[in-house]
A and B are shown apart, each in its own frame.
Chain A
Amino acid sequence: MPKRDDINHVLVIGSGPIVIGQACEFDYSGTQACRVLRSEGIRVSLVNSNPATIMTDPEFADATYVEPITPQFVEQVIARERPDALLATLGGQTALNTAMALHAAGTLDKYGVELIGADIDAIQRGEDRQRFKRVVATAGGEVPRSAVCHSMDEVRATVAELGLPVVVRPSFTMGGLGSGMAHTMDDLDRIAGSGLSESPTSEVLIEESVLGWKEFELELMRDRNDNVVVVCSIENIDPMGVHTGDSVTVAPSMTLTDVEYQRMRDMGIAVLREVGVDTGGCNIQFAINPADGRMVVIEMNPRVSRSSALASKATGFPIAKIAARLAIGYTLDEIPNDITRATPAAFEPALDYVVVKVPRFAFEKFPGADASLTTTMKSVGEAMALGRSFGEALQKAMRSAETSMPGLWTRPDPENVSLQASLESLRTPHDGWLYTAERALRQGATVADVAAASGADPWFVDQLAGLTQMRDDVAGATVLDRALLRRAKRAGLSDRQLAALRPEFAGEDGIRRLRHRLGLHPVYKTVDTCAAEFAADTPYHYSSYEDETEVAPSDRPKVMILGSGPNRIGQGIEFDYSCVHAVAALREVGFETIMVNCNPETVSTDYDTADRLYFEPLTLEDVLEVYHAEHDSGTAAGGPGVVGVVVQLGGQTPLGLARALTAAGLPVVGTPADSIHLAEDRGAFSKILSKANLPAPKHGTASTYAEAKAIAAEIGYPILVRPSYVLGGRGMEIVYDDSRLQSYITRATDISPEHPVLVDRFLDDAIEIDVDALCDGTEVYLGGIMEHIEEAGIHSGDSSCALPPITLGSGTIATIRGHTEALAHGIGVRGLLNVQYALKDDVLYVLEANPRASRTVPFVSKATGVSLARAATRVMMGASIATLRAEGLLRPHGDGGDLPSDAPIAVKEAVLPFKRFRTVEGRGIDALLGPEMKSTGEVMGIDAAFGHAFAKAQMATYGAVPDGGKVFVSVADRDKRAVVFPVKRLADLGFTVYATSGTGDVLRRHGIEYTPVRRHSDEHPDPALRDAVELIGSGELSLVINTPAGSAGVRTDGYEIRSAAVVVDTPCITTIQGAAAAVMGIEAMMRGDVTVRPLQELHAAMDAASPTRHRD
Chain B
Amino acid sequence: MSPKRAPAILVLEDGRVFEGEAFGAVGETFGEAVFATGMTGYQETLTDPSYHRQVVVQTTAHIGNTGVNAADEESRRIWVAGYVIHSAARVVSNWRATRGLEDELAVQGVVGICEVDTRALTRHLRSGGAMRCGISSLDTDPKALLAKVKASPSMAGANLLDEVTCAEPYVVPANGQRRFTVAALDFGIKRNTPRRMAERGIETHVLPASSTFDDIAAVNADAVFLSNGPGDPATADHQVAVLRELLARRIPVFGICFGNQILGRALGLSTFKLKFGHRGINQPVRDETTRKVEITAHNHGFAVGLPSREHEHSAVGPPAGETAAGAEFDTEFGRARVSHICLNDNVVEGLSCMDIPAFSVQYHPEAAAGPHDADYLFDRLTEMIGDNISA
Contact = CB atoms under 8 A, between A and B. Distances in A.
Contacts of B304: none
B61 A332 contact: no
Interface in A332-359: 332-333, 342-344, 346-354
A704 interface: no
B166 interface: no
B344 A534 contact: yes
Interface stretch (A286-294, A654-662, A1020-1028): A286-294
B44 A469 contact: no
A195 interface: no
Contacts of B122: 352, 531-533
A546 B117 contact: yes
Interface string B121-137: 01100100000000000
B61 A353 contact: yes
B84 to A, nearest CB: 12
Contacts of A73: none
B352 interface: no
A389 B86 contact: yes
Contact of B1 (A266, A348, A351, A470): A470
Contact of B66 (A227, A256, A391): A256
A491 to B, nearest CB: 5
Given A262-B370, A262-B371, A290-B95, A390 B117 contact: no
Interface in B32-52: 35, 37-41, 43-44
B1 A255 contact: no
Contacts of B120: 546-548
B93 A469 contact: no
Given A291-B95, A389-B62, A533-B280, A261 B90 contact: no
B96 A257 contact: yes
A546 B120 CA distance: 9
A256 B60 CA distance: 13
Interface in A512-569: 525, 530-535, 546-548, 550
Contacts of B123: 532, 548, 550
Nearest to B20: A547
B1 A548 contact: no
B357 interface: no
B8 to A, nearest CB: 14
Nearest to B67: A257
A257 B46 CA distance: 14
B37 A467 contact: no
Nearest to A349: B282
A385 to B, nearest CB: 13
Given A350-B60, A462-B91, A548-B120, A254 B3 contact: no
B331 interface: no
A388 interface: yes
Interface residues of A: mostly helix, strand, loop or mixed? loop
A392 to B, nearest CB: 8
Interface stretch (B141-149, B255-263, B286-294, B380-388): B286-294
A458 B283 CA distance: 32
Interface string B303-327: 0000000000000000000000000
Contacts of B86: 352, 388-389
A447 interface: yes
B44 A350 contact: no
Contacts of A531: 35, 37, 59-60, 119, 122, 280
A252 interface: yes
A1039 B50 CA distance: 73
Contacts of A292: 95
Interface string B1-36: 111100000000000001100000000000000010
A101 B197 CA distance: 50
A259 interface: yes
Nearest to A331: B293
B367 interface: yes
B43 A343 contact: no
A258 B292 contact: no
B60 A352 contact: yes
A231 B280 CA distance: 15
Nearest to B17: A547
B89 interface: yes
B255 to A, nearest CB: 23
A546 B61 CA distance: 13
Given A258-B40, A447-B91, A388 B371 contact: no
Contact of A351 (B41, B60, B281, B286): B60
A371 B122 CA distance: 45
A465 to B, nearest CB: 8
B368 interface: yes
B40 A354 contact: no
A530 B37 contact: yes
A229 interface: yes
Interface in A448-495: 457-459, 462-463, 465-467, 469-470, 487, 490-491
Contacts of A388: 61, 86-87, 119
A230 B282 CA distance: 9
B369 interface: yes
Nearest to B282: A348
A548 B295 contact: no
A489 B112 CA distance: 23
Contacts of A254: 62, 65
Contacts of A389: 1, 61-62, 86-87
List of 8 A-B pairs having minimum Cβ-Cβ separation, nearest first: A258-B41, A548-B120, A258-B369, A531-B59, A459-B93, A466-B1, A547-B117, A258-B40
17 contacts: A254-B65, A256-B40, A258-B43, A290-B95, A293-B96, A343-B284, A343-B345, A351-B61, A354-B62, A388-B87, A458-B91, A466-B90, A470-B1, A487-B4, A531-B59, A531-B119, A531-B122
Interface of B: 1-4, 18-19, 35, 37-41, 43-44, 59-62, 65-66, 69, 71-72, 86-87, 89-96, 115, 117-120, 122-123, 126, 280-284, 286, 291-293, 295, 343-345, 367-372
Given A258-B41, A351-B60, 5 more contacts: A233-B39, A257-B43, A258-B370, A346-B343, A348-B281
